[in-house]
Amino acid sequence: MLFEVWAPHAREVALQLDDATQTMVPDPARPGWWRTTAEAATGARYGFRLDGGPVRPDPRARRLPDGPGGPAAVVDPTAHRWEHPWTGRGLPGAVLYELHVGTFTGAGTLDAAAERLPDLAELGVSHVQLMPLSPFPGRHGWGYDGVAPWAVHEPYGGPAALCRFVDAAHGAGLGVVLDVVHNHLGPSGNFLSEFGPYFTDRTRTPWGEAVNLDGPGSDEVRAYFAGSALALLREYRLDGLRLDAVHALSDTRARHFLSELSASVDALAQATGRPLFLIAESDLNDPRTTAPRAAHGHGVHAQWNDDFHHCLHAALTGEAQGYYADFARAPLTALAATCTRGFFHDGGYSAFRERHHGAPLRRELPTARLVGYAQTHDQIGNRALGDRLAAGVDRSLLFCAAALVLCGPFTPMLFMGEEWGADTPWQYFTDHPDPELAAAVREGRRREFAAHGWEPGEVPDPQDEATRDRSVLRWPPRPGDDELRQWHRTLIALRAAYLPTTLTLGEVSAEADEGRRLLVVRSGPLAVAVNLSETAATAPLPPGRHEVLAARPGDGVAREAAGVRLPGRSVAVLRLTADGD
C-alpha cells in the first residue's frame, strides 16, 4: 500500500511500520511530499521519522489505537459492509438533536449510543448531531481539544464503531451530523508543527496559535483540513458537518477557506447523489457566512443563531449578566426582532462588546439557514455549574421554550435530554494525563469564574471523574417526564405538517408585549403564542381564521375575537389561514 506524508522542511523521512524502518523518497509531482509503498495488514502500527527523530503518528491517520501521540494503525476505509441503503436527508425541514457520545449513556460509547437511536426516531428528530470525535487525551472530554481530524476517539469505539453508529442511524431513518474543529488542535499529542507550517504565530486564538490558512505553505494546510472533512462525509456516509467557531479561522486570502470547503462539499454531494451540508458556529453575525458563493459569500448552508438563544434565555430566566445584558432589557422585543430579522445584532450597538456588531440578513434568506435552540452544549457547559434550564426555571416555561424552538422559523436543535426536561447538569470535564496541563485547565476554570463572583471550591474540577459522571444522562426518563416528551413529539409533528421548508425571513412576523410578557411569532401559516407572566392574558392574532392545534396547559386556552386567551405561563400553537380558506 502507499504511504505518503507532507513534510516540506525535512531533509529525510522514514516510514516506521511495526518493527521495520523504510526510507521514503520525495514525490516529484508534489513538492514537500514523501512517499513509499509497503505491504501492510489492517491494524499494523506505523508512523514517520523526520530527520532521524522519534516516530510520529501519520497526520492523516484514520485510527490512533493508543490515543494522541501513539502510532497510527492501518485502516481499510471500505471495510464496513453497509446494511442500510441511504439517499440522504437534507437540511430543509430538519430537526437536529445534539449529543455527546461520552455522556449520552453511562457506557459512553458509540455502540451504546446507537442503542438509543430508536428513542430519537420515535421522538421525530431528523438528524443526530454528534459532538467532536477526533482523538483527544484521556478517556473523557468534550472533544474540542482533539489532535487528529481524520480519526475517531478510540474509547468511543474508533472508526469501526462510527460506521456502525451511522449505519444504525440510517436504518432508523436518521441523518448524522458531526461536529468538527478546524480552528485549532489540542496541545497534547499534537506534532503537526514538526511536519510543516500548520500553524502561525501571526494570529492567536483563545486556544493558542492559529491554523495557517493564509501564510506560506497554507495551500497544503487548507487541503489537509478540507480533505479531512470530505473523508468523514465520504467514508462514514455522514450527512453534514457542524464547523466549530469559524470566527477563529483567520484567513486573509481572497477566497476564504469556508468558500473552498463549501464548494468541495457541494461537489461531493453532486458526485454521491446525497444532500450534504455544513453548519457553522460563528460569533460574527456576518451574512456572508451563508450567502451564496456566487454573491461573494462563503456558501455555508446554515449557521447557529446565538442571538435567538440569548433572547429566549433572558426571557425565561431574567439573567442579565455578560452577553445577556444586550438582550435582558426587553427580551421578548429582542426575540420578536430576531425571529423577523434573523439576527438581533445586525449592525446596531452592542453594549457587551462596546461597539457596533453584525450586519443585516436578506429578507429572502431561507429561515432554514439559521439554527435556533434553547440549550446547547456551550450554553449549558460553559456555565459555572453546568446547570440546564430545567434546574432553574418553572417547568411550565420549558413547554413555552419548546414551542418557540420547534414551531419557530429556524431549523430547530435540541440538546440531549432536553425533550424530557433532564435536570442532570452538563459540566466541563477533561481527562488530561499531563499533570501540568491538567493543573492549568483546573486553575484557568477557577480564575474564569472567580471574576464573576464564584468561590474556587464551588466550581467543579474538570479533572475530577465525578464531574463527568454527574453529566451523564439518566435513562430512562422519570414517569413525570412523559408529558414534556410527548409535547416535543407533538410540536415536531406540527412543524412537519404545517411549516413550509421554503420559508424565508420575509414570511415571518412577530409581535411582543413586554409589559404583559406576551409574544406571538408567525412563521408562514404556523403561529406560536406564549404568555410568560403568571397572569392570564389575551395575545392578539393577525386577521383570518385561527385553529388551535396544541396548547399547554390544555385547560384555559381559548380563542377570542381579539386573539387567543392564554393562562399564566402557557403556550398555544395555532394554524392561521386567510378568511375563506
Q: Which residues are catalytic?
A: 244, 281
What does each C-alpha distance from 123 to 10, 118, 371, 474 come to in angstroms?
54, 9, 19, 17
CA atoms within 13 A on the CB side of 246: 28
- Residue identified by cell 408562514 is 524
371 and 304 in contact (C-beta within 8 Å)?
Answer: yes
Residue 244 is labelled as binding a ligand: yes
Look at residues 506, 497, 514, 516 and name the one whose alpha carbon lies nearest to residue 573. 497
CA atoms within 13 A on the CB side of 3: 30
What contacts 336, CB < 8 A, 6 or more positions away? 510, 511, 512, 519, 521
Residue 243 is labelled as binding a ligand: yes
Whether a cis peptide bond, with omega within 30° of 0, leads into 476 is: yes
Look at residues 209, 361, 190, 364 and name the one whose alpha carbon lies nearest to residue 282. 361
Residue 383 is labelled as binding a ligand: no
Residue 513 is labelled as binding a ligand: no
What contacts 30, CB < 8 A, 6 or more positions away? none
266 and 229 in contact (C-beta within 8 Å)?
Answer: no
Residue 307 is labelled as binding a ligand: yes
Residue 247 is labelled as binding a ligand: yes
Residue 342 is labelled as binding a ligand: no
What does each C-alpha distance from 565 to 147, 551, 561 come to in angstroms?
55, 11, 10
3-state class (DSSP) for residue 544: coil
Whether a cis peptide bond, with omega within 30° of 0, leads into 553 is: yes
Find the angle CA(140)-CA(121)-CA(172) to the nearest 5 degrees.
90
**Phi and psi (nearest 5°) for 110?**
-65, -40
Task: Give the neighbor-by-neighbor strand order of the sheet with 518-523.
Answer: 508-513, 518-523, 526-531, 570-577, 545-552
3-state class (DSSP) for residue 159: helix
544 and 373 in contact (C-beta within 8 Å)?
Answer: no
Cα 141 from Cα 120, distance rounded (Å): 23
Residue 251 is labelled as binding a ligand: no
Cα 347 from Cα 340, distance rounded (Å): 15
432 and 441 in contact (C-beta within 8 Å)?
Answer: yes
Residue 310 is labelled as binding a ligand: yes
Residue 432 is labelled as binding a ligand: no
145 and 137 in contact (C-beta within 8 Å)?
Answer: yes
Look at residues 499, 519, 343, 488 and name the one whose alpha carbon lies nearest to residue 411. 499
Cα 216 from Cα 98, distance rounded (Å): 37
Binding annotation for substrate: 242-247, 306-310, 377-382
Which residues belong to the annotated binding site?
Answer: 242-247, 306-310, 377-382
